[in-house]
Structures are given as structure tokens and as C-alpha cells.
């Protein structure tokens, strides 16, 4: 604010020597500059890995007021924002270039394997900077992946608030100014991911709008902005399981309950038992399957089907369905970015608003291989 105050002061001192019109123009320019610099509308990037698959929502950030870093927005992940100790070890090698280039290089380096010593050293380095405080016992985190649940001891840190790059190119702290100027963070090896921005972070910044087509995440929406948007959405009562938001859907003629999961790149993904309930679905002429790798490093085989999808009053004639060969814990499955990209999301204290974004669901799975997972085919199967 010092920079802005000096600018305004200089304007006041010079107003006597310039015309009223020039003074008004200068005031408008400064006002717009200040508004843009502190805008909490964050620019995100929908990027894919080097194999042109696994789309993710990535945000640019500054960690510990020092490190240029990346966060993936994962609404299916509850708890504090997560620092990937694997990614922290190599993030300094991936701080230049476009977000796509940085993201792909990060994944490439992480997949080479990061030792436990290097991961621990990365966390210790943050603490030694003198700005983060650590808790002696840390915490036990329950990480629910697409096919496994892992409990791990995690470092817990209190660090300066994360700054995110907004739509005008400035790094901003997004929390309400009346709240504490710090973030609680936890660590996890995350052997396949950059840092994770969780659904709890969004819930602490309500109202929140995710605009998929324009790639914008607005936190702490102003009353005027909320008023202009709220009436254009269909609202579903907010329900959480394991801390993550879930919504009811009708898929293949069956009512299901799925997690809203922007961290999952697939379309609608169902556990083995839930997928067997589908009544109306079809698959391509040749059977297709994919091998998914979860956040815990687990591998899941999924047969690819297609079905109609209805969420409240929004209908899609056809979306992809991944039928996993393992069950999903607590819910029927999750709706991933392959479908969520076609929806704008409005998070409010008691509801989730949805409306079509203007983007189509992803239905092309060229990376899939022929065959099935060996678990049999669904009874709803028809050729199309």
C-alpha cells in the first residue's frame, strides 16, 4: 500500500498545476491500477502432461514470500493446502517458462524419483528460512486416492500466506483482510503431483466462483459480483463426505452420489460395485481401457463406457464413464475435470451452484488401449 499511497500523494501535490480533466484521468488510472493489483480473481491454466492427457487446473503462486511454485486445484481433497515434498525438491528447476512448460518439466523430474532424504531436506529448508513455524508432532493425514486410502504422518507448518497470480499479473494474498495473515500447510510426498490447493482453502474464501471457459478462480467475491452471478446458477445443497463436496447425479438411469473432484482428470469415474448398477450405457466399437495412477501411487484399470448424465436440471446426452476395477470409498465415485470443465461452479456456505461453461465434456480418449480390464462387462452394455 505504500507504493499506492505515494502515487496518490504525488497526484494531490500536482493537481494544482494540472487541469481538472487531467487530474480526473490520473485519478481513474490510479484507481484502476490499485483495483487490479489487489483483485482476488486468480488466473488458472488448464494444462495436460507431456502425453497430452491428464488435464489439470494449475495456479502460479509464491510460497513463503520467496519461492515461485505451482498449485493444482483439487476440490476432492480436504484439509489444509498440501506441499508436495517431492515437488519442493525440484521446483527451483521449474520456475521459468510458461505454466505448461513448468508443469510438464516438474512432472518429468518428479517421476524420476525423489529420495526420502531429499524430501525431508525440502521441508527443513522452508523451516530454516525463518518464516515458517513447525509443529513438533505434525499430524496424521488420511489421503483418499482413486483406489487406495493411505494414512501418513505429515509435517504441519504455519507459513506466510500464499500469494497467487491474479488475472492482471499481480501476486495477491486472497484471504479476507480480517482473518489471520498466515496459512496452515501440511506435507505429503505426492509422488505424482505438484502442490495441492484443497477444497478447504476454497471454503475459507467463500463465495468462490470457478469459471472454466475463461480460466478464472474468484475468491471472496464482492457482494455486487455475487449478486450478478448467483441467479444464473442452479443451486444444489452443500453436502460433504470426508470433507469434500459431493452431489447427486443421474447416470445411465441410476441415481448416484459422487465427489466433485477437479483433481481427477477423467470424466465420471465409478467404483466397481456402483458401475455394475448402470442400466443404460454403451461403449465404442472396440473395447477400450486405461490405466490410471492415483495420488497415492496406486494403479487402477478402468473400462471406458459412455452414458447420459443429468445433474439437477442440466443434461448431457453423452459423457465418458470410467468403470474402475476397484471400489471407491464412501461414495459411488467422482466426477472429474473431464466433465467439470463443462460446468462453472459457484461455492456458497450452504450450496454449490452449477451452470454450463460453454466447454464440452472430454469424450475422446485416444490414449486408451484396446481390450478390457478382465473384470467382465457391464450388463447395461449396448453397441453404438
SS3 of 149-208: the string is: EEEEEECEEEEECCEEEECCCCEEECCCCCCCCEEEEEEECCCCCCEEEEHHHHHCCCCE
Please name which of 217, 303, 236 lies closest in space to residue 266, comparing C-alpha atoms. 303
311 vs 107: CA distance, rounded Å: 33
Mark whether 102 and 13 lie in a shared domain.
no
Last residue within a domain, chosen from 224, 248, 263: 224
CA distances from 18 to 4, 109, 335 (A): 20, 57, 59
Q: In terms of domains, do 178 and 220 share one?
A: yes
Clarify whether residues 173 and 55 are in a common domain: yes
Q: Are residues 47 and 193 in the same domain?
A: yes
User: 148 with 189, same domain?
Assistant: yes
Residues 247 and 348 in one domain: yes
Co-location of 314 and 172 in the same domain: no
Tell me if 117 sits within 8 A of 96, measured CB to CB.
Answer: no
Domain containing residue 117: CATH number? 2.40.70.10
Residue ending a domain, choose from 207, 224, 241: 224
One domain for residues 351 and 372:
yes
What would the DSSP string read from start to end of 208-248? EEEETTTTEEE-S--HHHHHHHHTTSEEEE-EEETTEEEEE
Last residue of a domain, one of 224, 254, 280: 224
CA distance 239 to 253: 22
Q: Does the predicted TM-score (pTM) go above 0.95?
A: no
Which burial class, exposed, middle or buried, applies to 285 when counting CB atoms under 10 A from its CB (0-12, 13-18, 19+)? exposed
The verdict on 344 and 289 lying in the same domain is yes
| 99 in Cβ contact with 58 (< 8 Å) | yes
- Sign of the CA dihedral running 211, 162, 92, 294: negative
Domain assignment of residue 282, given as a range: 232-383
**Distance of CA 86 to CAs 90, 106, 118, Å?**
7, 10, 8
Q: What is the pLDDT along the chain (384 residues), one digit of tens a residue?
A: 445 555 555 555 555 556 656 555 655 555 545 554 457 899 999 999 887 788 999 999 999 999 999 999 999 999 999 999 999 999 999 999 999 999 999 999 999 999 999 999 999 998 888 789 888 776 666 555 555 555 667 889 999 999 999 988 899 987 665 667 899 999 998 888 999 999 999 999 999 999 999 999 999 999 999 999 999 999 999 999 988 999 999 998 899 999 999 999 899 999 888 888 888 888 877 888 888 766 556 678 888 999 999 999 999 999 999 988 888 778 999 999 999 999 999 999 999 999 999 999 998 887 788 888 875 556 665 544
pLDDT tens for each residue of 65-117: 999 999 999 999 999 999 999 999 999 999 999 999 999 999 999 999 999 99
| Same domain (yes/no): 58, 143 | yes
User: Residue 293 forms beta bridges with which residues?
Assistant: 299
Among 81, 289, 270, 80, residue whose Cα is nearest residue 194: 81
Extract the C-alpha cell encoding 367.
490414449
Domain total of the chain: 3
Q: Same domain for 253 and 218?
A: no
Do 9 and 123 have their domain in common?
A: no
Give Rg (Cα) of the chain: 23
Whole-number Å distance between alpha carbons of 184 and 132: 10
Amino acid at each position: 500500500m505504500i507504493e499506492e499511497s505515494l502515487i496518490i500523494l504525488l497526484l494531490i501535490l500536482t493537481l494544482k498545476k494540472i487541469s481538472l480533466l487531467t487530474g480526473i484521468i490520473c485519478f481513474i488510472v490510479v484507481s484502476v491500477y490499485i483495483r487490479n493489483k489487489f483483485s482476488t480473481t486468480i488466473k488458472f491454466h488448464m494444462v495436460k502432461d507431456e502425453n497430452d492427457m491428464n488435464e489439470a487446473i494449475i495456479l502460479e503462486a509464491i510460497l513463503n514470500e520467496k519461492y515461485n511454485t505451482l498449485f493444482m486445484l483439487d476440490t476432492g481433497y480436504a484439509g489444509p493446502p498440501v506441499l508436495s515434498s517431492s515437488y519442493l525438491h525440484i521446483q527451483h528447476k521449474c520456475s521459468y517458462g510458461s505454466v505448461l512448460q513448468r508443469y510438464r518439466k516438474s512432472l518429468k523430474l518428479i517421476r524420476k524419483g525423489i529420495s526420502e532424504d531429499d524430501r525431508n531436506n525440502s521441508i527443513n529448508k522452508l523451516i530454516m528460512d525463518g518464516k515458517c513455524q513447525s509443529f513438533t508432532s505434525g499430524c496424521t493425514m488420511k489421503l483418499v486416492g482413486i483406489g487406495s486410502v493411505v494414512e501418513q504422518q505429515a509435517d504441519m507448518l504455519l507459513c506466510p500466506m500464499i500469494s497467487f497470480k491474479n488475472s492482471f499479473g499481480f501476486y495477491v494474498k486472497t484471504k479476507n483482510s480480517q482473518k489471520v495473515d498466515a496459512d496452515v500447510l501440511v506435507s505429503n510426498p505426492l509422488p505424482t503431483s505438484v502442490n495441492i490447493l484443497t477444497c478447504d482453502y476454497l471454503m475459507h474464501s467463500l463465495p468462490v466462483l470457478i469459471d472454466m471457459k475463461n480460466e478464472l478462480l474468484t475468491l471472496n467475491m464482492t457482494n455486487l459480483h455475487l449478486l450478478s452471478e448467483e441467479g444464473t446458477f442452479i443451486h444444489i445443497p452443500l453436502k460433504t463426505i470426508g470433507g469434500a463436496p459431493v452431489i447427486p447425479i443421474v447416470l445411465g438411469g441410476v441415481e448416484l452420489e459422487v465427489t466433485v473432484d477437479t483433481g481427477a482428470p477423467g470424466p465420471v469415474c465409478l467404483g466397481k460395485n456402483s458401475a455394475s448398477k448402470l442400466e443404460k450405457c454403451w461403449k465404442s466399437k472396440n473395447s477400450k481401457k486405461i490405466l490410471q495412477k492415483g495420488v497415492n501411487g496406486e494403479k487402477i484399470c478402468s473400462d471406458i463406457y459412455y452414458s447420459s448424465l443429468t445433474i439437477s436440471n442440466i443434461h448431457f446426452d453423452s459423457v465418458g464413464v470410467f468403470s474402475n476395477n476397484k471400489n471407491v470409498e464412501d461414495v459411488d465415485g467422482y466426477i472429474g475435470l473431464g466433465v467439470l470443465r463443462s460446468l462453472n461452479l459457484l461455492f456458497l456456505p450452504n450450496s454449490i451452484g452449477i451452470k454450463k461453461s460453454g466447454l464440452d465434456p472430454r469424450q475422446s480418449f485416444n490414449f486408451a488401449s484396446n481390450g478390457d480390464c478382465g473384470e467382465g462387462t457391464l450388463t447395461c452394455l449396448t453397441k453404438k
